[in-house]
Structure formats: C-alpha cells, structure tokens
Amino acid sequence: MKWKYSFIHICMISLICLLVCQMPLKATTIDIPPTASKAIVFLLDASNSMNSNDRERLAKDSIAQLIYSLPSNYMVGFVAYHTDIVSSVEMVDNSGRDSIMEAANSVRYTGYTNAGAGLTRAVELLSTVDATEKTVVMLSDGEIIMANDEATIQVTNQFQTAVSQAGENDISIHVIGLGSEMGNSSNTIFSASEQTNGRNYHAPKAEDIQSAVDSILLEQLHIKKTTAAIVDTGGGIDELDITIPTKNATNARILFISDSPIQNLKADFNAGNVRQVSGTHYTLLELSHPSSEKIHVSFQGNEGSQVKVDVITEYYITMNPQVTYEDMEPVEEDATHYERTAQIDISFCDTENPERQVLMDSIFEGKSLSGTIDGQVWSGSLKSGIVSIIPQHHIEKNQTLDIVVDFENLETNVIVQQPLAVALEGAPELPVSDYRPVVIGVGIGILLVVLLLIYLVVEHKRRKPRTISDPPLPEPSKYDYTGRLNIYITQTKSSRDVPPLTYNLFRIPGGKVLSLQEILDGCDVSEPMEGAGRIYLKAGAGRCLVLSNESDCTIMQNREILLKGRSYLIGLDSKVDITFEDEMTEMVLQYREVRPNEIRNYAHT
Amino acid sequence: MTIIDQTNRTLLLEEINPEKLDLLTLIGDVKGIDSLSDDKIKEINQHLECRSYEEFQEKFAPCIYSFFDANSQAVKYTLKKPENISDSMLTEIPLNQSNDFLKMLFTLMESKKSQGVLNVDFGFENLLDMISPKKVMDDIRQVRKEIRYNYAKYAELEDGDPAKLDVGDKLNTLFEEASNNYNNVMAMLPLAIEDIKTRLLLGSGDQKGSNNQIALGMLTMGDKGELKVLEAPKQESTALATLDDNINTGLVAALEEDYQAINESPSDYVQSLVVRTFCPLPSTTQSKIDVPTEVANYNSYLQFYKNAKDDFIKVVKPLVEKLLGIKMFFDQYKCKTKGMIPTLVVANLKPEMLAKSSSLPTLHAYLNTVNSKNNFKNTIWYAIFPNLSITLQAGAKLRRERFAGNVHKVNEDVNSLETLSCLLDVLKDYRIETFFSFEPREETTFNAVAAEGIQKFIDRCEPLVGKSYSEFAIPCLPNFTVIPKNKSGVTLDKLMTISEDSTTAQLSEAKEDVMRLWIEGVYINAAYIAAGFRAASQCPEYLKDHYRRLKVDSELPGVRYDVEAGNHALCTRTTMPKEITGFTNSIKDQINRKNFGWIFASENAVLDGQDITQITVYKARNLLYDPDKSTYEPAYKTQVTTYIERILRHATGDFKQDNIVQFFSNNPKSQKSLWLAKKDCVNAVLEEGDNLDYTIDEGTGICDLTIYFDGNARNLEVLISRISSK
C-alpha cells in the first residue's frame, strides 16, 4: 500500500510543478509611488583579472542574489565594464529584472579595468530615474588599469569625477572588493565609497561575494529577509518546509542560492500568483499574495554543495489615519476656542485590496514603530495592526500634518507612500452668550402655538357632524307631496329657543327626496342637528310621507322606535319625535294636511 | 239624536295662579304619542275645567302674597309666590268675594248694571270708598252686632237646650269670620284706625266745632224746669254706660281666649284692639287714653294703610282684571233654564309659555285628543287670548316737560303678536276660533275708540290677515271699563291733629292731610265678553230666552246664529252696561266699510219700546279678508263650516263616499233635509237662502263641499274614504 501512497504523492507534486512551469512568468505589476521608489545599479568589473578571481562566475549569482532580493520598489540597472563598457541595462522595474540577469550572463571577463567609464555610466543610469534612494553596488577585483598610464590616469580622473557626481546626487556607492588585491582598503575603487557614504566589503574569494551582498542588503539597503534554511545537499532530493513569517504579504520571495546548480525544484504552496526564475546557481520563487504560511519544497543539489534559502516578504500598503478629537474647556478666560487634542491612529491596508487590513499578525503585535510628524520624532507600537501617534495638543485651526512612519523595526519590507498627510480640524469656537437663537426659537414657538390655537378654533367652528359616508339616497317617489311639516325644535344643545317652523311640502316636486337637513336649511335653522342629513323624506301613497332613517337618531312614532335603515309611512296629522345623534337636540315633526283652499291662500299671499 | 251637544267650550290662554296645576304640567310628556288617554283628559277637566265663576274661584283660588320688608318698613305684594321666603313670613291674601277690593269692583259693576247709567254719570266715588277703613268698620259692625246678639242668646239659654247648640253653630261661623283678621295686621289696621278714631273723636262726630273734652252727664230738668245736662258721678273715666256687664264680660273673655288660642305671637295691644273692635261696649275694661300716642298711632296707621292699599291695588289690578273678565265670561250666559252652559278650560299658563317650540307639541297632543275625535264632549271651540300688546304712538315731542304727565309705562303683562300668531297656527289646525283683545288701558276703551276710531287696531292686526289662520282670529274691541282712570280716586280718611293742650284730637282739615289713593282705571278685556257672548248664544235655551216669539230648536246649537243679522244684536245683548253715548257716524262708517273685527257698541237703541241699557255686538267678524268684497268674513261662517265638517265626519263614518251621498240626498231623513226642515229657526244650521252642495272628484278622492250662506259660497274640502265593504 505504501508504494501506492508514494505514487499518488509524487503525481500531485509533479502536477503542481507542472502547473508552476506552465504559469506565465509574469511579475505582479505594482505602481510604485515616486516617494517609495528606490534605484540601484549593479556595476560589474568584467576585466580580464576577474577570470582568476571569479573562476566559477559566482559574481553573476551574486547579482541574482542582490536583484532578486530587492523589494518591488527598487529600480535596477546593470553596467559591466572592462576596457570599456561591455554591457549596460537601463533601469528596469521589478518585472524587468530578468533582463539584467541575461545581460550579466552574457558578460565575458576580459580587457582592462575602465572603472571610470563604468561608474560614470552607472551614475548616468541613476540620474534617469526619480527615486528617494540611489545606490551603486560595485564589484571589482582591482585598481583601474588601462593600456597606458595616461589612459589610466584619465580613467582614474573620470572615476573620481563620477564619484563626485554620485556624491552630489546622493548616490551611495558600496564596493565589494574581490581578491587579495583589494585587501588594500585605500585603493581608488574603495575611495568611492568613502566619498559617497558607502561601505567597502572585501571578499577575498569569490565565495565570499555572497556574504558581502548579504551584508549590503541587510546593512546598507536595510532589506528585511530571513534565511529559512541552509541545506547541505547530498546529491539527492531534499525536501524542505519553509514558513513565511507573515501572512497577507503582498509578495513573498523565496530565493534558493547555491554554489552548484539547483535542480528538480518542486514547491507546494497557495498563492494568488507565482513566478519562478532559475539561474545556474539560484532559483527564485516569487509568490504574489501567498495565502498559506507553509510552503513545501523539494530540490536536488550537487553532492557536497550548499543551498541557502532566503525568504523576503514585502507589503505594499496604504496608511489610513483616523483622527479623534478631545475638546476641553480652556483655562484662560479670554480664550475663544476649545482646547483641542487630536489623537491620530493609523491602520494599514493592502494597497491592492484596501478593505484588507494588514500588519495584524502576531509577530507584529507590540512592535514599536517610529517616525516623524511634521518633523517631530514620534514612536509608538502596533496594537491590532494600528499604531497610535502621540496626541497632538493645541489644535487651534485647520492644519495638515505630514506623518512619516519608519517600518525599520518590522521584519518585513514595507512599500508605502510617504509622508502621510493628515488633515486636522481646528478647535471649535467656544459658545458665545448669544440669545438671538433663543429669542428666535421662542418667537417661532409662540407663533406655532398661536397658529395651533387658531387652527383649533377654526376647526371647532367648522366642526360638523361626523362625516360618515352618506348612505345611498332612497329611490325617488312617483307620488306628489301634499301637506306641510310643522317643525318644533323642543330642545337644542345651545339651549336657544327656535320658534316653531313650517315647511310647505306641497311646493316641492314630487320625485324629489328631501333630507331633513335640507328642510332645516330651507327654514334657516342654524342649530346643528347631527344626523339630520341622513333622515330622508319623500312623498308616499295616499298623501302619506315616507320617512327613511339612515342615521343614528332616535325617531319615535306612536311609542315605536323607527329603526335605522328602514322606511316608515307618516300619515296626515301624525307626528314623529326625533332625538338627534348628540342626544340633546330634540324635534317634533308634524305632518299636516294643506287643503286646496289653503294652498290658494298661500299662493295669494 | 244630538250628535254635537256643545259648541262653546272655551280655552282660556292666561295664567291665573302659578301655584295651581297648568295645562302643560297636566298633559306631561308626549314624546312618541299623538294623543292623550281618557284618564288624562278627565284629570285635566277636573283641574282646569270651570262651568261657573264660583267653580273657577274654587279651583284656582286666585290670591296675592304679601310680606313685610323691614328695610323699607313697608308691606310688599306679589302675584307670584316668592320662592325664597318661607311660608311663615308670607301672607296669602285670597282674592275672593270677601276681598274688599274685588268685592267693591263686583258691587260697582252690579250697581252700574242695575242703574244703567253711563260712566260719565256714575258715582264711582260712592263705591270706591268701600275699601276705606270706615267701610271696613261698617262691615265689622254688622258682624259684631250679630255676634253680640247671638252671644246674648247663647248666654241666656240653658245648657243642654238644643236651641243653644244651634246658636253655638252660628257663633262659631261668626267667630271664624272675625278670627280671620286676628293674624293679619293689615286686616287689623282699618279696625285700629276706626277704633282710635272712635275713642278720640267721641262726640265730635256729628257736632262740629267743639274741641273740648266732654264730661258725660245725664239730661235732667232743673228745678225751674230747665233742661240741664248734669255731669254724672265719675265712676270710670271715658266709660260709656254699662248695659249688660255680664254679657260683655263673657264675650270679652271668649274673644280674648280665641285670640290667644289662634295667634302664634299674641300682643296685648292687638288683643285689646280685637276685644274693642268686636265688643265695643265694655263697661269695665275701658282704660285711660294717652291722646298724643293714640294720635300718632292713628296717623301712622292711616299712612301705612294708604300706602299698603295703594301698593296692593297696583299689584293686584292685572289679576283682578282677569278675574273680572272670567266672571263676565260666565255672566254673559244669563238664562233661566240652563242648557249648553259655557265651559271654560283655563290653561293657567302665560301664552308665551304655551307658544314655545317645546310646548307646542304638548298642546298639539291635547287638542288632537279633544278636537280630532268623533266624540265632541270635550271639543274646544273657542279660545280667549287677552292682553295683546298695542304699540302706542308717542305723543307730541316735548322739548321740556313742564308739568307731570302720563308715564307710558310698558306693560309687562301683555302678550306679543308673535305669540298670538304661533298659537293661532296651532289652534287653526283644530279649527278653534280665537277671540283676542288688546291690552286693557285707556287707549283701548270705548272712549278711545269713539274718539280715535279703529284704524290703529286694523293696522295692528294687519300681520294676521291673509294667513291660513286668519279665519280663526277674531279681534275684539273695545275693552270695557270698570273704573275709568279719571274717576279712580279713593278717599280713605283724614289725618288727625292734636290740640295745643294735648288733651283732645281732631281730624285735619288741610287738603294735604286727606289720604287719597288712585286706582288708575280698571278694565276688562273685550275677548272675555265676546267669547262669553258667543258661547252663550250657542245654547238653544239662551236663544229661547231672548227670542220668545221666534222659533228656536231645542237641539241645534247656535253655530249659524248671526248676531249681526236683523235685530239679533238687540235681542241678544251682553250683560255689560253701556259706557258711552255711542260712536259717531264716521266711526261707524269706518267700521262698516271693511266690517272689521268683533266690535261692541254702546249705542242708544230701542227694542220693542224699551231702551237698551247694555252694550251690544256691532260687528262679529274674523280676520279672513274677502278681497272681492273688500270685507272681512262673519265669524259664524267658520263655525258653521267646522260644525258641518264634524257632523259630516261623524255621520258618514269618516267620510265614506256612500254615506256622503246619503248625507246630502233629498231623502227626508238625510242630515241635509233635517237641517233644511229647521231653517226657520233662530238657531238653524241652514237658514233661509243657505244651501249645501257637494261634488266628489273621483280622481283625487276629494269631496268638495260648498256651503252657501245666503248665496255666498264657502268651500270645504274633505278627503273621502273609499274603504267600503262592497
């Protein structure tokens, strides 16, 4: 069974490897802000003497080691010289570093040592880019030697001039002196570093270049990298578990450097993207947005050789300031503003994915950060991915603070736009004893109350009996009206006496349905009679009246209550008693006959 | 068979005694009902129906309330019982026949009637002093004489003698009458006044000139035969000769005991006053007189009495005028055999109360019950609405009032035209004819009408003309005068003065010391007499009494009796004596031109060789104006129409078509034929020249009845009933 598992395992790894190889080797393109941009030029001495000092061509591996260890914000250039400049690669960004390695691999060691032309060229290259930090790393195995002294002097002078130019342009020159000849620290080449705040490193043997490059990376360029492993290979397959110390890094570079070829590299990882660059003595795995901390790799090296595995992580972040203010009553009596203190907290987010906060890993927790705030030094510590800047007191007016954060203390490379401009709002003014708003407010309040009262009074006066949707009118009658109505309002809500009223029905067209309210309106009765609008009268057969009650009034005839929704006949000379919906107003309706001679009398009058 | 046996029941729209039940209270709540129960009608009749003045007096006990106001030291009178004064502080003065003022007025009217003289010739002063203390004392003297006589008899008879018990009964009655005055200081005042006067002016009564104190003596003959009055031995000062001390002593004791027993707060002074008044011949109880005190008392009593009487008359006059009116209403019915006696239902409410919207449905319910049934026992035919206000035109505008003139006070007890029209509107629905008259004052009397004519009354009635109720409105005028304004002075007595030595007193001769009060005219509303006369003439017996030579049917009411026709006005007269010499021709022309109103006349006339001394009816019209003839319609036509309609409804079983045809048929037994058979009677329903005709409109179901009054048509429409068994 064991062989079955091994087979499956190998298949998977192979598949992964295949996938890795099939992936386009395309570096992640990141727009580096100018303020975060840095530039470096590798200046290689390719004179004939290097053949003796660097038989194994280890210098090329060192170039690879250097340029692949640099974070993405480094622009890289390459110049190789002997009698003259033999190779020169323009400044390239992170994605173009392979071209430098191609150029370096094509260089042959031969000719004299025209370091003047080389350095001049390097300075020229650096002058073509806009970067906050410019560096020349120069690898040379000896003094400037040309075909004749005159030329030598000329080149030496040119070299000096270039050094001066570098000094003027804040270009640091770090020199790796290879071979015993460079043991003398006072040679012309080494003097370049002295004049440009650079540093000399002496590598007696070619194998020592690697450590010199390491030193430059760590000490001079402050590149954060960790050495994950140093493996002494036995010629077989070596397996290795590499841990990326930080999660959520934008990029993680795993650089395998060996003095012998590295073969059959296989890796098992999770990342958004990957790029692999392999040289003779080095292999680079560049993981974009690695999502797992563990990377399993296997490779094969030559027996007796050593493989060094470096891990370089980098964060490309955006700083998000959060300002909280605390306003205090000032002690001074003549103060016009509050005493304002601003607390600035800065959190860090991935530039490509601003919603994702970074630097929240446990290894960053409690790490101290420092920097400047408007030139003033500050320090703080990361807590849950947030650093608190020292409180800013006496914020009197609107202002903008430039905050620079130094991530030196973190074990990772941080690419960030610096400085961070934080706008602070000035302290609000102290409240002045101004009563105008109070007066205006009270005035508006009184006005509203008066309007409300007027509205209530008008509503009260205008108040009418409850508006219930009127029931449908009874059907018109086919009979004619004959008599008259005697109306006696026996009780009113207002206790006013209403004189007896008479309403002549015989003058009304027969088909018309009358509401009691219409009749009262016809008699000019101003007293409100709730429900009168829903008591209907129409002519009935045999000189009768038909009364339909659709109201909630109590209507009585002959000690019988006339029900709502029903119609009743009112005969001649009979009466109905109505108590209206307000339960106060009462009325007697008497239906009387009008004889034809009386009608004639009416007509006459 | 008589269907309708009364056509003269009258409703009086006036308040008599607010303390008694009234029509609205008795009817009660009428919510949801159209008519009242028989029990309710019976109860109303029991309380409000009167068939004579005496019955009215008993049922309504008209009275006036008096109380004393300590602040003004005066007695106050009010017709309405004051609610905030306890009964113990109130004195209720009944206005009955024993009230001196009312008695005086009744006497005055009776004597005027019997004398038959005009106001201008009548000696009002002779009767007006009936309310003076002297006349009151005269009455008491009569009482005390009877008391003394009966007491003497009583004392003589032995105990156990049945005759003694009879005398005892008489004495009880006399003492009861006398004791009415014990508690009433006001009633005692005239007694006290006369008592002091008697004692102080002893001897001066008929012999003027001597103010000296007298010394009683005996007439003797002197030695030489000369007549001498010798001073008698002075046993008791100012004492009269004792006749029978035993009787007096017993009577005094009886009066004192009676006074003490009845009076709640007896006073020695009043007690001796009572004793002196009703037992004036004491021999042993007379005490010495304190002349100055007695004179002061006399003067204050007289002044107080005069003021109180004055106030009393002012307050009581409106009520008394109503009482006189009611009495005259009943008085009109003078006949030997009582038949259809006029009946008065007194609403006992102010008309304005009755005319309120809240009261009218109640009135409707009552009238619907009594007038809309085929039982006519309780049917109201007439109503009396007195005291209609008459707006008086202001006199000539004066720049300055040089002399005290008449103050035209607004009479608060009058009724408005609006009230009348409201009530007429209701009453006409029940075909009740309403006699109304104007407020009783000088401006509405015979004198005024004779002088000014009736135009102002025509104008005043103008709003009532041309209305549906005009037919039922009868304006009555002029009002009758009981005491004319210019002859209403009453001399009570004179104040007393004291001699210089303060021993004697005498009546003052000064003009300002004559205590005189003015009654300022007492009048009777013409409506009472008009209604009374009309009610009386409904009775066949009454007509028989007045038309001995003419045929009068014993059963038919006098609905068709036209008082204007022929000599009817002279045959049937009011009982009121003539007041003036008559109206001038121009005034009579004015009356005849439009035949306005129910107008009485005080004309000089002769019937069968006898002078007419009473006031007659000159016009008997209502306000139904006939524009074709430019005249107002006679009142009787309305009542005949009403009568025929009611008979028709009754006889035809609520206007059954078949029965209507039968009613008007020429069958000798049909109602029309029966009426026509009696057309030569004074009280015929259809007289000569009258006729009845009818047409039935089958389409509308209306029976158009035409009544021809001597050729003049009057229409009556009734809705016929087609419910038939066929």
Cα distances (angstroms) measured from residue B483 to each of A46, A259, A380, B5, B479: 168, 165, 129, 38, 12
Domain locations along chain A: 433-461, 476-604
What DSSP state is assigned to residue A269? -
Helix, strand, coil fractions of chain A, as percent rounded to 5: 25, 35, 35
Per the CB < 8 A criterion, the answer to whether A94 and A39 are in contact is no
- Rounded to a whole number of angstroms, the distance from the CA of A588 to the nearest CA of chain B is 7
Which of the 8 DSSP states describes residue B64? Answer: E
Residues linked to residue A288 through DSSP beta bridges, in sequence order:
A251, A273
Chain A positions contacting chain B at CB under 8 Å are: 486, 488-491, 497-500, 502, 543, 556-560, 573-575, 577, 588, 590, 592-593, 595-598, 601-602, 604-605
As a whole number of angstroms, the longest Cα–Cα distance in chain B is: 120
Task: Give the per-residue pLDDT at B557.
Answer: 92
Is A157 in a helix, a strand, or coil?
helix
The whole-number average pLDDT for the span A564-587 is 88
pLDDT at B687 over 80: yes
Of residues B714, B716, B692, B712, the one with CA closest to residue B702: B716
Question: Does residue B21 carry a pLDDT above 90?
Answer: yes
- Rounded Cα distance between A233 and B207, Å, is 187
Please state, in angstroms and as integers, the Cα–Cα distance from residue A499 to each residue in A486, A489, A496, A533, A573, following that order: 11, 8, 10, 21, 20
Chain B residue closest to A560 (CA)? B32
Whether residue B214 has pLDDT greater than 50: no
Q: Which positions in chain A touch B31 (Cβ < 8 Å)?
A: 556, 577
> Is a pLDDT exceeding 70 seen at residue A19?
no
Cβ distance of B702 and A596 shorter than 8 Å: yes
Largest Cα span, chain A: 160
Band of residue B212 on the pLDDT scale cut at 50, 70, 90: very low
The residue of B353, B354, B358 whose CB has the most chain A CBs within 10 angstroms, and thus the best one to mutate to test that interface, is B358
Interchain CB contact of B626 with A (< 8 Å): no
B251: pLDDT strictly greater than 90: no
pLDDT at B467: 87
Residue B494 confidence (pLDDT): 84
| Beta-bridge mates of residue B625 | B632
In contact, A341 and A392? CB cutoff 8 Å: yes
Percent of chain A residues past pLDDT 90, beyond the cut: 6
Interface with chain A: mutation pick from B33, B34, B373, B423, highest number of A CBs within 10 Å: B34
At B241 the pLDDT is: 39
> What pLDDT sits at residue B218?
53
Per CB-CB distance under 8 Å, the chain B contacts of A592 are: 429
- Partners of residue B425 in chain A, C-beta under 8 Å: 486, 500, 502
Mutate to test the interface with A, among B354, B357, B363, B700 (most CBs of A within 10 A): B357
CB-based contact (8 Å) between B43 and chain A?
no
Identify whether the C-beta of residue B527 lies closer than 8 Å to the C-beta of residue B597: no
Question: What mean pLDDT do residues B516-543 have?
Answer: 91
* Chain B positions in Cβ-Cβ contact with residue A597 (cut-off 8 Å): 715, 717
- Whether residue B85 lies within 8 A of chain A, CB to CB, comes out as no
Would the CB atoms of B418 and A499 count as touching at under 8 Å? yes
Q: Is B265 on the interface with A (CB under 8 A)?
A: no
CA–CA distance, A159 with A161 (Å, rounded to integer): 5
Given a contact cutoff of 8 angstroms between Cβ atoms, the answer to whether B513 and B554 are in contact is no
Tokens coding A384: 């849950």
Asked if the Cβ–Cβ distance from A500 to B360 is below 8 Å, we say yes
- Residue A276 is predicted with a pLDDT of 83
B30: closest CA of chain A, how far (Å): 9
Contact criterion met (CB below 8 Å) for A580 and A494? no
Are the C-beta atoms of residues A388 and A343 closer than 8 Å to each other? yes
- d(CA A447, nearest CA chain B) in Å: 46
Is the distance from CB of B237 to CB of B288 less than 8 angstroms?
A: yes
Distance CA A355, CA A361 (A): 16
pLDDT tens for residues B444-491?
999 999 998 999 999 999 999 988 899 999 999 999 998 888 887 888
Residue B392, pLDDT above cutoff 70: no
Q: Which residue of B has its CA nearest to A561?
A: B32
* Shortest CA gap A450–chain B (Å): 41
**pLDDT for the residue B394:** 44
CB within 8 Å: A543 and B702: no
Q: Which CATH class is domain A476-604?
A: mainly beta
Classify the complex by whether its ipTM is higher than 0.85, answering yes or no: no
- Which residues of chain A are within 8 Å of residue B426 when distances are taken between CB atoms? 500
Global pTM reads 0.61
* Helix, strand, coil abundance in chain B, percent, nearest 5: 40, 20, 40
Between residues B268 and B355, the one the model is more confident about: B355
Q: Which residue in the set B364, B422, B715 is minimally distant from A499, CB to CB?
A: B422
What mean pLDDT do residues A338-342 have?
Answer: 86
Mutate to test the interface with B, among A559, A560, A591, A595 (most CBs of B within 10 A): A595
Write down the pLDDT at residue B283.
42
Q: Do the Cβ atoms of B34 and A574 come within 8 Å?
A: yes
Contact A573 B357 (CB under 8 A): no
CA-based nearest residue in chain B for residue A575: B34
Res. B210: pLDDT tops 70: no
Report residue A531 as tokens.
Answer: 């429900």
Q: What angle do CA B106, B112, B117 make, to 5 degrees?
A: 165
Ramachandran sector of residue A374 (left: φ over 0; alpha: ψ -120 to 50; beta: rest): left
In this prediction, residue A271 has a pLDDT band, given cuts at 50, 70 and 90, of confident
- Interchain CB distance below 8 Å, B360 and A597: no
Confidence of residue B333 (pLDDT cuts 50, 70, 90): very high
Helix extents (H) in B407-557: 417-427, 446-452, 455-461, 526-536, 540-546
Chain A residues with CB under 8 Å of B418 CB are: 499
Tokens of A107: 């260089």
Average pLDDT, stretch B54-79?
86
The pLDDT mean for chain A works out to 82
Res. B143: pLDDT tops 60: yes
Q: Is there a contact between A490 and B422 if contact means CB atoms under 8 Å apart?
A: no
Query: Which of B31, B466, B702 comes nearest A577 by C-beta?
Result: B31
B328 has a pLDDT exceeding 80: yes
Task: For chain B, give the mean pLDDT.
Answer: 82
Q: What is the reported pLDDT for B59?
A: 93
Q: Count Cα atoms within 13 angstroms, Cβ side, for A254.
A: 30
pLDDT at A24 over 50: no
Contact B361 A605 (CB under 8 A): no
When pLDDT is averaged across residues A247-268 and rounded to a whole number, the result is 81
Tens of pLDDT, residues B611-648: 888 999 999 999 998 888 889 999 999 999 999 999 98
Q: How far is CA A487 from CA A500, A511, A551, A568, in A?
A: 6, 22, 19, 18
CA distance A572 to chain B (A): 11
* Neighbouring residues of B404: CB distance < 8 A, sequence distance ≥ 6: none
What pLDDT sits at residue A242?
A: 84
